[in-house]
Amino acid sequence: INISVFPPSNACIGRYILNMQITSCGHTYQRCLGDFYVLFNPWCADDPVYMDNQAHREEYVLNEHGILYEGVYKHITCRPWHFGQFEDGILDICLKILDMGASYHHGSDRDHCWRNDPVHVSMVVNHMISSHTTNSIMKIPENNDYLKGTKPFSWNGSVPILQQWYSGRCRPVRYGYCGSLASVMCTVMRCLGIPSRVVTNFCFPCSIENPLGINEIFDCTGKNLCGKDKLWRYHCWNESWMARRDLNQCCGDWQCLDPTPLETGRGSACSGPTWVRSIREGELDLDYDGHHMFSRVNSNYVGWLSQNNAKKTKFFCDPWPCAQRLITKSVGSEQFEDITGAYKYELGSMKNKEAYYRAYRRIHPGYCNASNCHIDRELSALKNPFLSDSGINMRLKMANCPMYGEDVQLHWLLENLRSENKNLKFNLCAQIITYSGCPMDQFWKDSVNVTLGPREVKNIPLCVSYSQYGPYLCDHNIIKVVAVSDPECGEVLMVSRDIVINRPPVIVKLLSQPRLKVPCTAEISFCNPLQEDMKNCVMTLEGCGLFKEPMTIDLGTLASNQQARTVVEFTPYRLGSHRLLANLGCHKF
């Protein structure tokens, strides 16, 4: 007897058991024929996750290799990531996640009725990544303290994280950051059949008090002070493709899901799903957490100078808008795709203004009947005056692309826009900034007097040596350099630049042609570029279809300019396109 099972498009996803009942001579026998899994099907036109483009299905469902984009919007860095949604045991772990998070929205999961709706499934997964009180998949370290766990930036892929959570009785894995959280969610969603991708937002505001405003406070030396608001240099979240029946959508579209718990003024929580198009249009009443997602791509920057008497004044600056750039991996390519236009219209355009007015009235009910001109006046009163209004233009331009061990070289460009002399005193400083906008150590300070003749342009070279920043950098590879004029000279002018210090490369070279179930060798090489020893060096290797579990190699201490080479052997156990990832950790990073 041949038996065919044809699950309808509205079937609940999960593991099913197929039983056969035989009745003979008044006796009934039960026999289990086996089990099978039902998933969402983006190839089926009747499925709410249907995606009609084959190249997009291959990228957002079948591709196990991804890229995480980090850094700052003027210097975007990338690193590969293994999603590994087809690795052995991952599907069972993903279904376990649904079991553990079932009570989040539904109290009881006896009928599993919600498991045919990708909206509710995505909400449960989103909550389980890091917001569940006891059984979330991953924790974010508090106060950047991760001594009792794994360094957040040392992970290469989702599989070890999910396996550690599952084998550890569903206790949170320590530790992760927004990129690993979004990537793990992407793995779970792709495994369940929901097309998904990781998005990076550069200049991401996190404000508690004013949803559409982000405040940064500096002292007279240019030091960034720790306030309630944080301007993240970048933030990663997840997008998933589905038709929202709750919004009467007949076709699929991208929905934004942010698994990182962020402070909202009512406690920390994850966000979504939010229809990306509703964010662009300012239609905040349509969706879950629409006002949070809108503010994260449309907030206004306000910079303040705090003086000794606790008085705060706005300085002259040229601030970049929040959500300066949103990018994701391109389809079938290693390059990134700029998707900023999907989240907001071009800055200053009529459509952009209309969407902002619409959202502003919903976020601030007191302005429900206010005119557009009234809202414009309120916004103008909040913003910093431009540098050109003071008669001076300034910017900091990079002269090199520094790597660990190299000095940071900058050009400080000043231009007098007036037909009169300008005599100014500036305070300069540099400090470490985490990716989440937390100011760390201020390690360099200086002051300089600048005289500019009428219409004069001046180029002042600046140098921050490795000996100055090296002892403070650690895992945080972002430096903020600030030049601020002395308040006693009159108007306060400020210019700043975020600088990414690149990590030295690890080179992977295959020594033989990979074949299925045939041993293969690769050479991993690394050179210590520092003028000092690198201690506690550990190399972690990972590859879907290549290693059943990550391989760790202890390299010990590497002397200055020492070249380390190691040859590893592995046996590919699965056909397909594979990528070998190597990550080096030491006492410096």
Q: How far apart are CA 447 and CA 457, in angstroms?
A: 20
Q: Which of 222-236, 394-408, 570-584 has the lowest mean pLDDT?
A: 570-584
Question: At 267, is the pLDDT very low, low, confident or very high (cuts 50, 70, 90)?
Answer: low
pLDDT digits (tens, 9 = 90+) for 500-514: 999 989 999 989 888
Non-local (6+) Cβ contacts of 225 within 8 A are: 217, 218, 219, 306, 439
Is residue 235 annotated as part of the catalytic site, yes or no? yes
What separation in angstroms does the CA of 137 have from each of 148, 181, 215, 334? 16, 9, 32, 28
Chosen CATH of 54-382 out of 3.40.50.880, 3.40.50.620, 3.90.1860.10, 3.90.260.10: 3.90.260.10
Of 62, 74, 180, nearest to 129 by C-alpha is: 180
Please compute the mean of the pLDDT values over residues 407-421 and round it to a whole number.
Answer: 96
Q: Is the per-residue pLDDT at 549 higher than 90?
A: no
Predicted confidence at residue 588, as pLDDT, reads 76
In this predicted model, which residue has the larger pLDDT, 65 or 246? 65
Distance in angstroms (rounded) separating the CA atoms of residues 551 and 529: 24
**94, 170, 178, 322: the active-site residue:** 178
Does residue 94 have an active-site annotation?
A: no
Residue 309 reports pLDDT greater than 70: no
pLDDT (average), residues 74-88: 94
pLDDT at 144 (0 to 100): 73
CA gap 166, 138 in Å, rounded: 11
pLDDT bucket at 265, cuts 50 / 70 / 90: low
How confident is the prediction for the chain on average, in pLDDT?
91
Q: Please pick, among 47, 229, 258, 287, the residue that the annotation labels catalytic.
A: 258
Only one residue has tokens 């630049």, namely: 497
For position 132, what pLDDT does the model report? 75
Digit-coded pLDDT (tens) for 166-197: 999 999 999 999 999 999 999 999 999 999 99
Whether residue 60 is preceded by a cis peptide bond, meaning omega within 30 degrees of 0, is no
Which position has the token pair 């909040």?
A: 382
Three-state secondary structure call for residue 463? strand
Report pLDDT for 569: 92
Give the DSSP letter of residue 515: B
Q: Is residue 212 classed exposed, middle or buried when 0-12, 13-18 and 19+ CB atoms within 10 A define those classes?
A: buried
- For tokens 């001076």, the residue is 392
Q: Where in the chain is the domain with CATH 3.90.260.10?
A: 54-382
- The mean pLDDT of 454-480, rounded to a whole number, is 92
Second-level CATH architecture of 506-585: Sandwich (2.60)
Confidence of residue 546 (pLDDT cuts 50, 70, 90): confident
- Say whether pLDDT at 109 is over 70: no
pLDDT for 138 equals 96
Q: Which amino acid is at 147?
A: L
Q: In whole angstroms, what is the distance from residue 157 CA to residue 439 CA?
A: 28
> Cα separations (Å) of 244 from 122, 125, 561?
12, 17, 56
pLDDT at 354 over 60: yes
Query: What's the pLDDT at 307?
Result: 84
pLDDT tens sequence across 135-163: 999 999 887 777 788 989 989 999 999 99
**Given CA atoms 206, 131, 234, 280 in this order, what sign does their dihedral have?**
negative
Q: Which residues pair with 239 in a beta bridge?
A: 197, 256
Nearest to 582 by CA among 505, 475, 519: 505
Give the mean model confidence (pLDDT) for residues 115-138.
Answer: 92
End-to-end CA distance of the chain: 62
Contact (CB, 8 A) for 567 and 509: no
Cβ atoms within 10 Å, residue 450: 18
H/E stretch holding 255 reads strand 253-263
Catalytic residue among 235, 291, 292, 578: 235
pLDDT at position 270: 85
Q: What are phi and psi of 461, to 5 degrees?
A: -75, 140
Asked whether residue 413 carries a pLDDT value surpassing 90, the answer given is yes
On the 0-12 / 13-18 / 19+ scale of CB atoms within 10 A, 349 is exposed
Single-letter amino acid, residue 256: C
Task: Extract the tokens encoding 529.
Answer: 């570029």
Average pLDDT over residues 60-85: 95
* Ranges in the chain annotated CATH 2.60.40.10: 387-500, 506-585
The DSSP call for residue 291 is H
Fold annotation for 387-500: Immunoglobulin-like (2.60.40)
Contact call for residues 522 and 567 (beta carbons, < 8 A): yes
How sure is the predictor about 587, in pLDDT bands with cuts at 50, 70 and 90?
A: confident
**In degrees to the nearest 10, what's the CA dihedral of 336, 337, 343, 349?**
120
Is 258 one of the annotated active-site residues of the chain?
Answer: yes
Q: Residue 98 — very low, low, confident or very high, per pLDDT cuts 50/70/90?
A: very high
In whole angstroms, give the CA distance from residue 531 to residue 200: 34
Q: Identify whether the C-beta of residue 478 lies closer than 8 Å to the C-beta of residue 417.
A: no
- State how beta strands 422-433 and 478-485 pair: antiparallel
Report the alpha-carbon distance of residue 443 to residue 2 in Å, rounded.
Answer: 74
pLDDT at 349: 94
CA atoms within 13 A on the CB side of 374: 9
Residue 553, both tokens: 């190699």
